[in-house]
Amino acid sequence: MSWTSPFESLLKIRESAVKFDRFGRLALRAGAVLAGLCVTAAAAAQTVQTVPGMPPVTNPHDMYSNAGFNMFSPAVKGALPRIYVPNLRSNDVYVIDPATFKVVDRFAVGRSPQHVVPAWDLKTLWVTNNAEGRNDGSLTPIDPMTGKPGKADPVDDPYNMYFTPDGKEAIVVAEAFARLDFRDPHTMALKSRLPAPECKGINHADFSIDGKYAIFTCEFGGKLVKIDMVNRKVLGYLQLNKRGMPQDIRVSPDGKVFYVADMMADGVYLIDGDSFKQVGFVKTGIGTHGLYPSRDGTKLYVANRGSNKVHGPRNGPGSVSVIDFATRSVVANWPIPGGGSPDMGNVTADGKWLWLSGRFDDVVYAFDTATGKVQIIKVGMEPHGLAVWPQPGRFSLGHTGIMR
């Protein structure tokens, strides 16, 4: 039996360790490759198959990822930074410079302007003048490069307006007629109509992550209606509460849950869009009305109008609640000193300000999203669906800027 010196034994141990280390590193590298392949396969499995013509969903976990901080489309290059405020009872639009918080322009539009709606291609802002109780409704185009209005197009009862996910048609929400009118997105020529007879007060909407369906709120029936956007038909209705008044609706970043503000319930219903069933409820504040995702897609700003009445009092207990999408819970509440009535609007491109109309107080609010503190600007009579422009994103699905 040969004798091995302690030194030689140490050398053999070291050589074995080196071999094992090399093998271990090779195994780790192989494991990393396999893990990467699994992640790639998982990502491929999660690819969202959108309707033809709709821009792809680049992040299945966050459909708002293309509308992040200052992610502007080339289509909005040169657009004036402005806040456009439609005033329902004074039949005009006030224009605010967000840098100075001052009104810099004002112009007349059609009767009963309800919302300022960015077009799908981001090149026009449309004022929806629905002429409440009359038959002389119209749409007034605004050129965002100049901030000036153009000639109005006569349109039946345009309470609100959306766009098909492929951008080929505008969807005029004819509230008084309980129907959707599909029109040319540029000329507004009528193409087709879709009645939703059980949806009294058809109002606000949002679309599934793939664009295959939309859910509209039925303000005067306490219901929702689900619309097949491919085959253009009503898929069904969902009763929330017969005494309810569902208002704005917005889908979660992953597309799984629709948040529905209800002015009578003082909170937000959670709806599984695919199964079209209620899965939860979040209490927020009195007169829950408008819903707006934060610029990073992690929070939902909820405007509580401060009254359960369609025409509420001045200086009510209006507020903004902040819902965390991950926990589906309220993480902050921002009251308005002295009271108010926050209604509709949007978030600035840098995410620092939430602009909302003060429906019953003839003012506009600018909330600092870091602190909840608010600045107040006087405008016309009964401001409603204001638009913040320009907005980040590749295209607009309508309303005051559903950007994706």
Sort 344 into a burial class: Cβ within 10 Å, 0-12 / 13-18 / 19+. Answer: buried
pLDDT at 163 over 50: yes
Number of Cβ within 10 Å of residue 238's Cβ equals 18
pLDDT digits (tens, 9 = 90+) for 44-67: 447 999 999 999 999 999 999 999
Residues 162, 168, 172, CA angle at the centre, nearest 5°? Answer: 30
| pLDDT value for 31 | 47
pLDDT attached to residue 113: 98
| CB hemisphere CA count around 324 (13 angstroms) | 6
Q: Show Cβ contacts of residue 11 under 8 Å, excluding neighbours closer than 6 positions.
A: none
Sign of the torsion angle spanned by Cα atoms 124, 234, 212, 392: positive
Q: Tell whether 68 is covered by a domain.
A: no
What pLDDT, on a 0 to 100 scale, did the predictor assign at position 158? 98
Q: Is the pLDDT of residue 16 over 50?
A: no
The answer to the question of residue 358 being in a domain is yes
| 308-365 pLDDT tens trace | 999 999 999 999 999 999 999 999 999 999 999 999 999 999 999 999 999 999 999 9
Can you tell me the distance from the alpha carbon of 330 to that of 27, in angstroms, rounded to the nearest whole number?
A: 46
Three-state secondary-structure class, residue 30: helix
- pLDDT given at position 38: 43
Q: What is the pTM of this model?
A: 0.89
Cα-Cα-Cα-Cα dihedral sign, residues 161, 164, 167, 168: negative
Query: What is the model's pLDDT at position 30?
Result: 42
- The total number of structural domains in the chain stands at 1
Domain that holds residue 277: 74-389
CA distances for 266 relative to 159, 215, 260, 307, 318, angstroms: 23, 20, 11, 9, 11
Name the band, by pLDDT with cuts 50, 70 and 90, for residue 92. Answer: very high
The pLDDT score that the predictor gives to residue 274 is 98
Could you tell me if residue 57 is inside a domain?
A: no
pLDDT computed for residue 8 by the predictor: 46
Query: By C-alpha distance, which of 208, 192, 182, 273 is closest to 236?
Result: 273
**Domain holding 380: CATH number?**
2.130.10.10
- Domain assignment present for 226: yes
The yes-or-no verdict on residue 26 having pLDDT over 60 is no
Structure tokens at 301: 């700003």
pLDDT band at 41 (very low <50, low <70, confident <90, very high): very low
Q: What is the pLDDT of residues 99-152, one digit of tens each?
A: 999 999 999 999 999 999 999 999 999 999 999 989 999 999 999 999 999 999
* Per-residue model confidence as pLDDT tens digits over 216-270: 999 999 999 999 999 999 999 999 999 999 999 999 999 999 999 999 999 999 9
Sign, Cα dihedral of 67, 69, 75, 80? positive
pLDDT in tens, 77-88: 999 999 999 999
pLDDT in tens, 182-202: 999 999 999 999 999 999 999
State the pLDDT at residue 354.
Answer: 98
Indicate whether 2 belongs to any domain: no
Is pLDDT of 25 > 70? no
Report yes or no on 143 lying in a domain.
Answer: yes
